[in-house]
Structure 1
Amino acid sequence: MVVRASNTSLGNVKNYHHMPQLKLTYFDHTGRAEPSRLIMAAASIPFEDERLTHEQFAALKPPLPLGQVPVLQVDGKTYSQSIAISRWVVPLGPVVVDTINDAVNAIVEVHWTEKDEAKKAEKNKKLTGETLPRIYGALDKLVRGTFVTGEALSFADTHVFDHFDSLVAYCVPDLKLHAYPKLAALIQGVKAHPKLASYLAARKKSDHGTTAMKAIPFELVPIFPIKGQSRTPEFLRMNPNGQIPVLQDGDFTLSEGNAILTYLAMKHDWTDLYPSDIKARAKVDECLHWHHTHTRLATTRVMTPVLRKVVGKASAQELAFAATKHKTMGKLLPIMETYLHDHAFLAQSSHYTLADIMCYCELDQIESLGVIDFSAFPNTTRWLRQMKSVPCHDEAHEALFAFMKRFNILPVPLEHR
């Protein structure tokens, strides 16, 4: 890997007799367009930031050069390929620097190109233990000051920042940046840059995952079963079981959380979450079925009874469940430890899938609120920490924590644990 930077910076923008009309087109998340967005934001270069849904991309794809995004339109002329686009933006910046594609290609090879799960796990060990430390160690030595070229923000810094902010955060969540102090300082410097701080603060946080994570537009309709809202005639026509969640997709209605997740994954081709390989998909399905009688109990027999006890609404059965919560989790967590002993995630996968998302939702709430002590289960604790770093995690939890804060049950009082 080689990074070469000129002594020019984003602070030295040229004056043009004609500022081109720029339109950058990509999906509604960070990815390969983000370095160019960062460059233009830092250099105060006006541009139209067109963000596509996957359905819009499918309609737009045929006439695109190479059938790919991102693309940059300059006064109506279209340029493709992310690196070429960044280099085109350079004279407007102006900055010149090579990228850290060695690390990008190494991560992509392991997490997306390799389909065999056993080989993927072996390659991931080499990736995190040898390849990335070598690349990042070399890159760390090239940083000359606050930024790559010194004290001025350059094209190099936007690429380095985006690499760690998006790809590494998603694929290598356990990476310890303290081993690369100059890179860690650079990332903080980019975040604090006066022209980028406002852009980053306003940036939509979406990348990978379900609905919000996949940037799929949807309407969330709150239903409160405790108020009888799931037993109304209108709701029972959607789901005679009187339970949530329920998905309405046009004239199609579907209930049961796991069924909804697999339906969305198959409809939108989320093969990173629900693999196309029949054996890998079967392992995800295995965990989703196991969830019903295992991790689901973390909610029905632990979290819900404890919370209802806190607010004085617990039934006799719920009080009994709350009293035996340690016994319930004592049966579940050793199984989780075994599942996670040789793999970073459930379903024998090196990256998270629908299985992890569903099981995590049950366990995270009791771990975050201190209902159960997980310290005796290191594999599960590591997995919980990794899942907290997935994109849109905090956004997905906002409503839950707002509800708990409203009733003053965050965290759960010690006497009720």
Structure 2
Amino acid sequence: MPSYKLYYFDARGAAELARLIMKQAGQDFEDIRLAGEKWLEKKPEMPLKAMPVLEIDGKKICQSMAIVRYLAREFGLMGSSNMEALAIEELLEVFTEITTKHLMKIYYEQDQQKKVELMKEFKETGMPPYITFIESRLKENNDGKGFYVGDKVTVADLALYNTMFSYKHWMGKEGQDPFEGSPLLGEFYQRVASLPNIAAWEKARPQTNM
């Protein structure tokens, strides 16, 4: 069995989905969180001088979604067929699109009042088409009462849960949680949060702002 080290900042951010995959799979790994001088010391060793980085038996791999896809395949979380894998890939690409088209603008806005206005705009006009799409896909599988695809947990469930968690804790503080008002997704969130390994990680993981 390979040994894993995951390098990132002391935050959920771009590494949290990889952490969730390994926690759900029951895979031991070193959760290495770097900041300040420690990050500057390690930075020259990292591919592209950035994080997250997954080290597998000494080999360092970069790019968060490449790491996610590798881990999902490695631990049987990419679905039970090519069609399930396609639906999972589709959802992952949706979240990438949301981030690049909407969230980065909000995240880098320095004026707090303008930031809240952008959150409100995103909640009211930017996110609803995506929520409608995600709900429709979820309903295609067991009328939305189970997992995103198939009859067992996949990385799609973890990705959707992680995204909802992030929005609730970031935008929800400003009253702008875009998933608010979707009982179907609210129930889905609770199902994933109740998975034993995920619930245990929620209690054990370091508390961070992001």
**Is TM-score (shorter-chain normalized) higher than 0.5?**
yes
Contact 2:147 2:157 (C-alpha < 8 Å) held by counterparts: yes
Q: State the shift of 1:121 in Å.
A: 5.9
Structure 1: 5+ residue stretches without partners: 1-18, 209-417
Count residues with an aligned counterpart. Answer: 189
Q: Which residue of 1 aligns with 2:160?
A: 160
Residue by residue, what CA displacement relative to the aligned partner does 1:43-84 show, whole Å, maximum 9, x if unpaired? 112222111123311221123111111100111111101101
Contact 2:164 2:179 (C-alpha < 8 Å) held by counterparts: no
Confirm or deny that 1:169 pairs with 2:165: no
Where does 1:188-203 land on structure 2 (aligned, <5 Å)? 188-203=190-205
Q: State the shift of 1:177 in Å.
A: 3.7
Residue by residue, what CA displacement relative to the aligned partner does 1:264-294 show, whole Å, maximum 9, x if unpaired? xxxxxxxxxxxxxxxxxxxxxxxxxxxxxxx
Confirm or deny that 1:142 pairs with 2:107: no
Q: Which residue of 2 aligns with 1:103?
A: 98
Q: State the shift of 1:200 in Å.
A: 1.5
Amino acid at match of 1:201: K
User: Which secondary structure state, in structure 1, belongs to the residue aligned with residue 44 of structure 2?
Assistant: coil
Structure 1 consecutive aligned stretches of length 4 or more whose deviation exceeds 6 Å: 116-119
Confirm or deny that 1:30 pairs with 2:12: yes
Confirm or deny that 1:82 pairs with 2:64: yes
Change (3 A) 1:199 1:124: closer
User: Which secondary structure state, in structure 1, belongs to the residue aligned with residue 45 of structure 2?
Assistant: coil
Change (3 A) 1:115 1:194: closer
Change (3 A) 1:121 1:201: closer
Contact 2:54 2:60 (C-alpha < 8 Å) held by counterparts: yes
Q: State the shift of 1:178 in Å.
A: 4.9
- Inter-partner Cα distance in structure 1 for 2:182 and 2:21: 23
Cα RMSD of the aligned pairs, angstroms, is: 2.2
Structure 2: 5+ residue stretches without partners: 79-87
Residue by residue, what CA displacement relative to the aligned partner does 1:281-322 show, whole Å, maximum 9, x if unpaired? xxxxxxxxxxxxxxxxxxxxxxxxxxxxxxxxxxxxxxxxxx
Residue by residue, what CA displacement relative to the aligned partner does 1:307-365 show, whole Å, maximum 9, x if unpaired? xxxxxxxxxxxxxxxxxxxxxxxxxxxxxxxxxxxxxxxxxxxxxxxxxxxxxxxxxxx
- Inter-partner Cα distance in structure 1 for 2:105 and 2:172: 13
Identity %: 30
Confirm or deny that 1:52 pairs with 2:54: no
TM-score computed with the length of structure 2 as normaliser: 0.80
Residue by residue, what CA displacement relative to the aligned partner does 1:30-54 show, whole Å, maximum 9, x if unpaired? 1111111111111112222111123
- Inter-partner Cα distance in structure 2 for 1:172 and 1:43: 29
- Inter-partner Cα distance in structure 2 for 1:177 and 1:126: 14
Where does 1:279-294 land on structure 2 (aligned, <5 Å)? none
TM-score computed with the length of structure 1 as normaliser: 0.42
Q: Which residue of 1 aligns with 2:84?
A: none
User: Which secondary structure state, in structure 2, belongs to the residue aligned with residue 179 of structure 1?
Assistant: coil
Q: State the shift of 1:95 in Å.
A: 2.3
